[in-house]
A = this chain, B = another copy of it.
């Protein structure tokens, strides 16, 4: 990996981005980093599906009791009763209502336990073939009626450019805390898109993350590229009942529509990164994003725990 230290000269970085012009590049990394074995936390078929599509939806993985406990904890965190670190809270424009809480395990023992669960960290460790740590975690709450869209993007593009994540060896897990159907703005994924790295056009300005959390305009593919991807692969909405879990590869193109239905959406979101893939200097930004968005420094590998949460 010493080659990476030369990345600012250009040729050795397999995923150059924020360029003068958009480019399609082939993925240089594996998708599933372990060989399947009978004691793996996913079936062979689930593993193969993740490899092919770049995501996997596990329906009704958490029990009603577990979901109820997580929802109660979520409500307590959002109520303002709990002391939370100021910089980890994102409120809606023109309102005090909390929409996102970052650094979730640091602020809630129950969510810390959730992250370590074999159904999350255990699967992540299997998919990434390494011990894993949390690159980012958050609780998302999108109200009904006014839920805004989130435009198409590959997380890895941002994590590589702005956080300095060297390779595609990270996976996201989103646990649905509310039911998601096609109409209330579910996560939409482009199956197969994880095999292409779309190097984006544009130069990252200082403190880009302050704007990109509200609306993403840099680090997103052109309409032409998105059309090509969707014509080739289609779009899959990640629908499921509360308690369903969605894994998706760090480079799977995804987004979500807005939501005027009365049905709010909420999920607990964890990004697992391989300890061997720890962050370096940003590949295409003046300075790294803050720690609540991207854990820097010595990784803290997760101990996997088994059994029900509550």
* Residue positions of A touching B, CB distance < 8 A: 144-145, 149, 151-152, 182-183, 185, 188, 223, 226-227, 230-231, 235, 237, 255-263
Given A182-B182, A183-B188, A226-B145, do A261 and B235 touch, yes or no (CB 8 Å)? yes
Besides the known contacts A183-B188, A257-B260, 16 further A-B residue pairs in the complex with CB atoms under 8 A apart: A144-B223, A149-B258, A149-B260, A182-B183, A182-B237, A183-B237, A188-B260, A188-B261, A226-B262, A230-B261, A230-B263, A231-B262, A235-B261, A255-B260, A257-B257, A257-B261
Query: Contact: A257 with B255, CB < 8 Å?
Result: no
Most buried by B among A149, A182, A230: A149
Q: In the bound complex, do residue A257 and residue B226 qualify as a contact, i.e. CB atoms below 8 Å apart?
A: no
Shortest distance between the CB of A20 and any CB in chain B (Å): 22
Nearest B residue to A186 via CB reads B183
In the complex, what residues of B have CB within 8 A of residue A226's CB? 145, 262
Shortest Cβ distance from A227 into B: residue:
B262
> Hey, which chain B residues are within 8 Å of A262, CB to CB?
223, 226-227, 230-231
Given contacts A145-B223, A145-B226, A226-B145, contact A185 B261 (CB under 8 A): no
B-side contacts of A256, CB under 8 Å: 260
Each complex incorporates copies of this chain amounting to 2
Q: Which residue of B lies closest to A259 (CB)?
A: B257
- Chain B residues with Cβ below 8 Å from A182 are 182-183, 237
- Count chain B CB atoms within 10 A of each CB in A144, A259, A261 and give the residue with the most: A261
Tell me the minimal C-beta distance from A133 to chain B in angstroms: 32
A256 — nearest CB in chain B belongs to which residue? B260
* A103 CB → nearest B CB, Å: 28
Cα–Cα distance between A226 and B185 once the two chains are bound (Å): 17
Kindly state the separation between the CA atoms of A183 and B235 in the bound complex, as whole angstroms. Answer: 9
A303: min CB distance to chain B, Å? 39
Q: How far, in angstroms, from A183 to B189 measured CA to CA in the complex?
A: 12
Residues of B within 8 A of A231 (CB): 262
Contact in complex: B261, A258 (CB < 8 Å) = no
Residues of B within 8 A of A185 (CB): 257
A263 to chain B, nearest CB (A): 8
Contact status A260-B145, CB under 8 Å: no
Q: Are A260 and B223 in contact (CB under 8 A)?
A: no
Per the bound structure, the CA–CA distance linking A258 and B215 in Å amounts to: 15
How far, in whole Å, are A188 and B184 apart by their CA atoms in the complex?
11
Question: Which residues of chain B are within 8 angstroms of A223 by Cβ–Cβ distance?
Answer: 144-145, 262
